[in-house]
Amino acid sequence: METIKVGDKISCIVYRDSDWSKGLNFITPDSMFIQAGSWWYEKGKVLAKHIHKDFDRLASRTQESVYIKRGSMKVSLYTEDLELFKEFNLFEGDLAVFGYGGHGYEILEDDTQVIETKNGPFLSVDEDKIKF
C-alpha cells in the first residue's frame, strides 16, 4: 500500500491487488473524509447483521475511489494549485482512494471496467467540480 501526500495532506492511497491480507483491513485512516477497507474471510464467516444509525457528517468536498475490475488506466495527480506532481498506472484488482488535490484518468486498454465510489449526494458538474 502506498500513501501519496502533498505536504501533510493525503492526495491518494493506492491499494494494489498484492496488498490484500486476510481479515478486515482499513485502507484509509479513521480521520479521512472518505473511508475504504478490505475484507478477506474464509467460508462460514458470519458478520453481524446491522443497520447504520443516522448521524450528521460534515463533508467539505466530494472525493472518490476507483477500483479496476478489468483493464488498466493511468492516474495523474495534481496539487491543490492544479500542478501535476505524480503519475502511475492502476491494473486489474487495484484500488485508489483520493483525498486532497486533483486527479485525472486515461484508459489504457479496450474494455477497461472501473467502479467509482464517492461521498454523495452529487450536486452537479457545475456545482461540484472544477475542470482544468
CATH 2.60.120 for domain 2-40+62-128, yes or no, is yes
Across the 132 residues of the chain, what is the mean pLDDT of every consecutive 10-residue run?
A: 96 96 94 90 95 85 92 97 97 97 97 92 78 90
C-alpha cell at 64: 472518490
Do residues 4 and 85 lie in contact, with contact meaning Cβ atoms separated by under 8 Å?
Answer: no
Spatial separation of the C-alpha atoms in residues 86 and 78, rounded to whole Å: 7
Q: What per-residue confidence (pLDDT) applies to 59?
A: 78
Q: Which residues contact 91 (CB under 8 A, 6 or more apart)?
A: 16, 17, 68, 72
pLDDT at residue number 124: 80
Contact 77, 11 (CB under 8 A): yes
Give the burial class of 79: count Cβ atoms within 10 A of its Cβ; 0-12 exposed, 13-18 middle, 19 or more buried. middle
Element (H or E) spanning 26, and its range? strand 23-26
pLDDT at 5: 97
Cβ contact 65:86 at 8 Å:
no
- pLDDT of amino acid 86: 98
Please report where in the chains the cell 452537479 appears, as a residue. 124
Domain extents for the chain? 2-40+62-128
Does pTM top 0.95 for this prediction?
no
pLDDT at 87: 98
